[in-house]
Structure 1
Amino acid sequence: MWKKAVVATACAVLVLSLGYTAVTTSSAAGEKITVVGKNFTEQDIMAYLVGRLLEEKLDVPVEVKSYLGGTDVAFGAMKSGNADVYVEYTGTGYVNILNKEAASDPQQVYDEVKQAFAERYRMDWLEPIGFNNTYALAVSQETAKRYGLKKVSDLRPVAGELVFGTNQEFLDRPDGMPGLTKTYDLNFKDVKSMDAGLKYTALNSGQVQLIDAYSTDGRLIQNNLVLLEDDKHFFPPYYAAPLVRQDALEQYPDMRDTLNLLAGKIDEQEMAELNAKVDVEKQQAKSVAEEWLKKEGLIE
């Protein structure tokens, strides 16, 4: 089983008012589920996926307000009651919301956020969807074959021949470069700081041989890169799961079982493929979500 402080309620209400409705159905006042999503592709897909599934299974009007903002805005909307559900990441709940030190045990992180959110915020973490959107190290197919790279530990004897390309944030954070090099005893030929969008170009052109990435980034699929297994489990777990207000679960008793239909359904590879459909193929997140739900037999 298996990302800072919450802004004022007024801010969340203001941002929510700027969202858009994915599903519109006339209903009695209060008879509506509001799904929100953060401001990046994966969350856009997840918001529509959750919203469409709830609409189909519960026969309740569902409003989707995607690209709402960062964690503070999405979580603030939940706290204020202006949102009922969104997909959050266990590591984000653990580190950014509960302000705990990063931990590496996925089950421990899930159990702690589940208990704490229920007690402090009257919110329930449901079953994880399956994918872990955490940091990962990526190399080209050619580099993987040349040096026999399958896992991060394989880098140790060859690190002195490799240039690492990364953004400044990864260089500074303890769960980034400092901890990585210490845990795996790595000493790279050089480390180049660059804008996140330039890392893939630098890798493809041979300026660097290794980059950091997010494990569900669609550009991994686009560039046919190899993700190295984090065999010492250094990177913290960021498993995605529906986070739901308990009031909503009480109002709609079938909501829990409906959202748990997503449990374990999407791994990192498939989530990267879904993200690539939006980021690379320029499909609409709403269409990608609906197509996936139909493929899985979850909606008609």
Structure 2
Amino acid sequence: MSHRILLVALAALTLTACADRAAPLRIGAKGFAEQALLAEMVAALARRAGVDVAPIDTCGDTYACHRKLRDGEIDVMVEYTGTGLRFIGAVPGQDSMDDLRSLYAPLGLRWLNPIGFDNGYRVLVRADRPQRTIGDLTGVDGLRVVAPPEYVRRPGDGLGALVTRYGLRLGAKPLLIEPPSERYQALVDGRADAAIGYATDGAIAEMGLKVLADPAGFFPPYEGAVLVREDAAKRHPGLIEALGALEGRIDTATMRDLNARVQLEGRDVGVVARGFLATHDLVDPAPPG
């Protein structure tokens, strides 16, 4: 009898080990350079902690990534606090990390502390234009805006709310372009008067654009932070501590520089991400050659 019990116990252990090996950490990323960089950093830190990591899932826009995270198709992503608040239906006054955590906890999702940079939405124009604030665009009749498709659907901080807050007078329907570089090129080419961009985008100055001030405080802070499923944290002991190494590590200027290396210099995303981590002794340097 004891021999049979031992065999059953060994079989159970084998099945458990196989289940663990069959459930690597699944990391999601939205479809732009910054998200790819941050996903590579998450992957490198997880691997250093001994976590098996699946290939990164470029899951699309915010809607698609949130759906995959909530449905358990991915385990972790880097999200932005302002986006997180808008997508969970936070009411005015709910704007702290404590609020964010309490809103997401019932979904089995945990926000780690912010990474250190703010990649908020920004309204951009060509640098040679006279406008200095978003409100100055009220003087442009038939305003032509180019934006990512997601932005026109976003609750709270999307195009409709922006137009209402500032009293903008749009002309034709907004031009919808996903890749930031192509969106900015539409602005440079004169196909649009204003573009929706991101604060940490390394291409803004390079392409001769400028950011308009937001005197109404329409855009909330969009601090980057790791958002992880609680069941993944339990499945991979040490994961939370490993990813906590990103806390306060990347300021806005540094994130903009890292983005520029990928967007403008064409450097490999994984190499840039790992190089940054190695510089801060968070992973081992890549071997030469």
**Shift in CA distance, 82/210, structure 1 to aligned 2, threshold 3 Å:** closer
One of 115, 122, 128 as aligned partner of 1:142: 128
Shift of 1:234: 0.6
1:53-202 equivalences in 2 (<5 Å): 53-56=45-48, 58-71=49-62, 74-79=65-70, 81=72, 83-96=74-87, 98=88, 100=89, 106-107=95-96, 110-118=97-105, 120-143=106-129, 146=130, 149=132, 151-153=133-135, 155=136, 159-160=139-140, 163-167=143-147, 175-186=157-168, 193-196=174-177, 199-202=183-186
Shift of 1:178: 4.0
The residue aligned with 1:49 is 41
Is the Cα contact below 8 Å between 1:36 and 1:85 reproduced in 2? yes
Is the Cα contact below 8 Å between 1:38 and 1:44 reproduced in 2? yes
- Supply the distance in 1 between the matched residues of 2:265 and 2:183 (Cα, whole angstroms): 20
- RMSD after superposition: 3.5
Amino acid across the alignment from 1:271 = M
The residue aligned with 2:187 is 203
- Supply the distance in 1 between the matched residues of 2:71 and 2:158 (Cα, whole angstroms): 33
- 1:290 matched to 2:274? The reply is yes
Flag the structure with larger Rg. 2
Is the Cα contact below 8 Å between 1:35 and 1:50 reproduced in 2? no
The residue aligned with 1:262 is 246
Shift of 1:175: 3.2
One of 256, 260, 271 as aligned partner of 2:255: 271
Provide TM-score, normalisation by structure 1: 0.69
3-state SS of paired residue (2:211): strand
Structure 2: segments with no counterpart, 5+ residues: 1-16, 285-289
- Supply the distance in 2 between the matched residues of 1:86 and 1:35 (Cα, whole angstroms): 9
Is the Cα contact below 8 Å between 1:47 and 1:64 reproduced in 2? no
Shift of 1:112: 2.9
Shift of 1:52: 0.3
Structure 1: segments with no counterpart, 5+ residues: 1-27
The residue aligned with 2:12 is none
Is the Cα contact below 8 Å between 1:104 and 1:237 reproduced in 2? no
Shift of 1:291: 1.6
